Amino acid sequence: MAMRARVGDQLIVRTPSDGVARRDGEIVGLHHADGTPPYDVRWSDTGRVSLVFPGPDAHVHSLRPARGPEEDPRERVP
């Protein structure tokens, strides 16, 4: 199944190594109208925004109820 996200969702990256902290951030930008990667992510640990191509160790956690992208202008791709 393809990863899909919306602006405002949380991207969580976990590593299989013991002792390595997970990293998470808010998805602040989409590059594809269907919500597939890559994403612009504001990382919670640094506050920096970076372009992310999530790997198999990442998943998206939605923080709000499902609705169509046409209802939220922030989710429109330029």
pLDDT above 90: residue 19: no
pLDDT above 70: residue 21: no
Residue 20: what pLDDT? 67
Model-level pTM?
Answer: 0.76
Residue 40: what pLDDT? 98
Long-range contacts formed by 10-15: CB under 8 A, 24+ apart:
10/60, 10/61, 10/62, 10/63, 11/39, 11/41, 11/52, 11/54, 11/58, 11/59, 11/60, 11/61, 12/58, 12/59, 12/60, 12/61, 13/54, 13/55, 13/57, 13/58, 14/57, 14/58, 14/59, 15/57
Residue 15: what pLDDT? 77
